[in-house]
Amino acid sequence: MPLTDIKARNAKPGIKPDGTPTAKRYKLTDEKGLYLEVAPSGGKWWRFKYRFAGKEKRLSLGVYPEVSLKEARVKRDDYRKQVANGIDPSDVRKAEKVSEAGLESFEYVAREWHSKFSSNWTEGHAARTLTRLENDVFPWLGKRNINEINAPDLLSVLRRVENRGALETAHRINQICGQVFRYAIATGRAERDPSADLKGALPPTRVKHHSSITEPKQIGELMRAINSYSGSFVTGIALKLSALLFVRPGELRQAEWTEFDFENKEWRIPAEKMKMRELHIVPLSKQAIALLEELQPLTGRAKYLFPSVRTNTRPMSNNTINAALRRLGYTKEQMTAHGFRSMASTILNEQGWNRDAIERQLAHSERDGVRAAYNYAQYLPERKKMLQAWADYLEALACNENVVPIYPAQNI
């Protein structure tokens, strides 16, 4: 039943409409997502609940009785129209607040920059970038004219982050702000980039390397442990393919059956899933094909090769491979899911394979942007031989055989 003005006016803190006492906030529901929230302190707030992009969200529509029931319904209907037109009312609200500070405020320019470039990033990177700005920069610099912000102003923001022990985050925020300032220069709203003046102002970060095993005897022990994994069959296959294909953990867990070409023995990972946002081809060795054929009867009808244990509409957790390694007895200081990449890179480089072919297979960044757009198939014949040789090498190590080095690429 829709809410009435009398019910809203008579709502008392600490007592629900049915007379039940409560020490918590309670709701008086109207309709179409609108409700009145009554706080123990006596305050009454209009709220609008809606769903956008599959997520439930809420917006405050003001305080009762300053905002009447009729006015709250008008606001609710306006927001419902925005949702129906594919617009998130929350984004509109934020944009309105930013515009009050002016089109040349740091926050306005930063949000404009983010909206223009985030479509070329992964969803996670786009979200992290905006969160860092919203949490650590906008509260202090957001309303400032971007052209008036100097190096000491920016440093004071970075010091707050550094002082809470997040030095690496402070460096990343400085990089993000530098991109915003350079965008402002290009669009005529700033004259210089103060982040460039902060070189050396923050202590350097220590380079963190993913733990990995690179000694052949220990690799053999690892592969035997993986082959004897007694946990989930699906996780066991994921462990084996991690070693054989040495893709990034996120790329493996989000692998979809439609991406695999068994006839050409290739896995083509779409650009939107790749860190560098370009199509990546992973040649499939005969060992990898055999594992996929084992897995297909079990998960082949689902979207993902490795679906979540809770639902096959989502991929497995990003911690599954690391958890499996811990179950096998390997600590995070010994081996990680990402460490399979270091393991392959180290051995393949040591044994003479073409460094450029290795880097291309690892899908590392290409500094030349024009060249990067066309390099997904670079060295592909050589990479196919390399992946098969790598699979044979791991298989021999697992069998505890007297393994000879993989033949160098130049001898192929």
Active-site residue list = 248, 275, 338, 341, 364, 374
* Cα within 13 Å of Cα(178), Cβ side: 13
Order of strands, sheet of 55-63, starting from the edge strand that comes earlier in the sequence: 26-29, 34-38, 44-52, 55-63
* Cα within 13 Å of Cα(176), Cβ side: 30
Q: Token pair of 93, please?
A: 């609200």
Residue pair 183/113 in contact (Cβ under 8 Å)? The answer is yes
Residue pair 248/275 in contact (Cβ under 8 Å)? The answer is yes
**Gap between the Cα atoms of 310 and 308, Å rounded:** 5
Neighbours of 62 (CB within 10 A): 15
Instruction: For residue 89, give the nearest of 98, 99, 80 by alpha carbon.
Output: 80
DSSP label of 221:
H
Residue pair 140/156 in contact (Cβ under 8 Å)? The answer is yes
Residue pair 105/98 in contact (Cβ under 8 Å)? The answer is yes
Query: Cα 261–264–268 angle (5° rounding)?
Result: 45
